[in-house]
């Protein structure tokens, strides 16, 4: 039996985060794909919130991707995915939180806004989030190519899945990252080139098709 079981869904960026952490650390794991539209009756036993990802390790369940990833980093300490100083770790948690509470929401709100009148302020909100990540994050945290310098961290694996899905706002909202986000663009390229990222990456068409139901419901109804 594998050391860790992950309950996952291919489409889910949060599960994608944890899959990358498991792979980067070369943890022996098995993956159970959950159909989120038809969850198995036993799913609440392994995921009390009813969401992916969750993991089972040593007979115990851990859920919420940010918590799962820190748990994995603690239990399987090499290669370390948190900075070595208390302040570095605090900042890593700030950036994971920024993704969860601000950036991810801004991107999804724009994608879900089918009314063009609503889209203007949401574009500005997403611009502001990306510029904040560029200027307060990448430009202040080191020379790259990863978020905190030469080695990847939990911050890199927490953000990357949302950038693999960035094609959705580009496709459905004709959105472009602000021109000033040069470090962010270079960071995306660095992440996309990682062998583990490439191993499980999906092409833009995979995400664009799955986002259609909420990003372009009229288009879907017409088909």
Ligand X SMILES: N[C@@H](CCC(=O)N[C@@H](CS)C(=O)NCC(=O)O)C(=O)O
Active site residues: 12
Residue 105 or 204 with smaller CB distance to ligand X:
105
Q: Report the nearest approach of ligand X to the CB of residue 3 (Å).
A: 20
Q: Which two tokens stand for residue 125?
A: 């909100």
Residue 82 or 181 with smaller CB distance to ligand X:
82
Residues at the interface with ligand X (CB under 6 A): 9, 12, 14, 36, 50-53, 64-66
Instruction: Identify whether the C-beta of residue 17 lies closer than 8 Å to the C-beta of residue 65.
Output: yes
Residue 144 or 163 with smaller CB distance to ligand X:
163
Q: Report the nearest approach of ligand X to the CB of residue 160 (Å).
A: 14
Q: Report the nearest approach of ligand X to the CB of residue 49 (Å).
A: 7
Q: Report the nearest approach of ligand X to the CB of residue 162 (Å).
A: 11
Q: Report the nearest approach of ligand X to the CB of residue 53 (Å).
A: 6
In DSSP notation, the chain reads --SEEEEE-TT-HHHHHHHHHHHHTT--EEEEE--TTS--TTHHHH-TTS-S-EEEETTEEEESHHHHHHHHHHHS-SS--S-SSHHHHHHHHHHHHHIIIIIHHHHHHHHH--SHHHHHHHHHHHHHHHHHIIIIIITTS-S-SBTTBSS--HHHHHHHHHHHTTHHHHHHH-----TT-HHHHHHHHHHHHSHHHHHH---HHHHHHHHHHHH-HHHHHH-
User: What is the rounded distance in angstroms from the CA atom of residue 127 to the CA atom of residue 103?
Assistant: 10
């Amino acid at each position: 039996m594998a050391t860790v079981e992950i309950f996952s869904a291919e489409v889910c960026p949060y599960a994608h985060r944890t899959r990358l952490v498991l792979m980067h650390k070369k943890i022996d794991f098995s993956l159970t794909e959950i159909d989120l539209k038809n969850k198995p009756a036993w799913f609440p036993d392994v995921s009390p919130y009813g969401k992916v990802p969750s993991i089972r390790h040593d007979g115990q369940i851990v859920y919420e991707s940010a918590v799962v990833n820190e748990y994995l980093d603690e239990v399987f300490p090499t290669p370390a995915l948190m900075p070595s100083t208390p302040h570095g770790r605090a900042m890593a948690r700030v950036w994971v939180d920024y993704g969860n509470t601000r950036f991810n929401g801004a991107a999804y709100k724009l994608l879900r806004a089918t009314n063009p009148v609503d889209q203007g302020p949401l574009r500005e909100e997403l611009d502001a989030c990306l510029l904040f990540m560029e200027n307060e994050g990448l430009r202040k945290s080191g020379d790259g190519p990863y978020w905190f310098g030469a080695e990847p961290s939990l911050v890199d694996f927490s953000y990357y899945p949302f950038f693999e899905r960035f094609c959705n706002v580009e496709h459905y909202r004709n959105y472009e990252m602000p021109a000033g986000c040069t470090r962010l663009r270079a960071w995306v390229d660095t992440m996309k080139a990682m062998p583990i990222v490439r191993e499980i990456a999906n092409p833009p068409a995979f995400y664009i098709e799955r986002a259609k139901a909420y990003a372009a419901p009229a288009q879907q109804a017409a088909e």
